[in-house]
Amino acid sequence: MPSDLRGVADDVRGFLPDDEADALREAAGEHLRPGGVAVEIGSYCGKSAVHLGHVARLRGARLVTIDHHRGSEEQQSGWEYHDTSLVGTDGRMETLPFLRETLARAGLEDVVDVVVARSPDVASWWGRELDLVFVDGGHTDEHAQADYDGWARWVRPGGALVIHDVFPDPADGGQAPYRIYRRALEDGFAEVGHTGSLRVLRR
């Protein structure tokens, strides 16, 4: 990844350590095909979109990043990951302007398609197979299971399902992503990569 682009990603607020970012780019490089599409669930301010978007450009593919931009549960007022600088004039979380700024700085606006909506709503009308799905949205069971229900079925044979924040030990983090990871294995996905809390599974 070029140093200037990595510098943009490093400056963006987010929760993706460098080793996991490297693993995410590697997974995208292995699975994205020319003309193919990757979907990212959970844009936040765009850190992972820079990494995925960079690979999409190299591969002649596209990235669709989906988020309602009102923040997940743990980012609301009074919770651990609340950031007051991301609160809009109406008092609600509003991360869309930060994502747009990130993509502009990274020069990726022509590669990354931004969808402002709830993930299951988009999945309900989606109609084409995907090379890669990156699940990094809401971390409650309700939202993680809905993301899996909506998007795992669109991963093509040989494509990748990448799940972030997978913690087998409850002492390390919430269990909803771990539960969909276990569900994916039961559904026939095979684990092909494990870096930190990032799991890469292939259909």
Q: Which listed residue (139, 143, 164, 194) is catalytic?
A: 139
- State the Cα torsion 73-88-112-38 to the nearest 10°: 10
Yes or no: say if 48 and 24 are a contact pair by the CB < 8 Å rule.
Answer: yes
Contacts of 181 (CB under 8 A, 6+ apart): 163, 166, 199, 201
Identify the CA nearest to 42 among candidates 144, 161, 128. 144
139 catalytic? Reply is yes
Distance CA 186, CA 171 (A): 24
Burial of 50 (0-12, 13-18, 19+ CB in 10 A): buried
End-to-end, the C-alpha distance of the chain in Å comes to 27
- 159, 202 contact by CB (below 8 A): yes
DSSP state, 32? -
Active-site residue list:
139
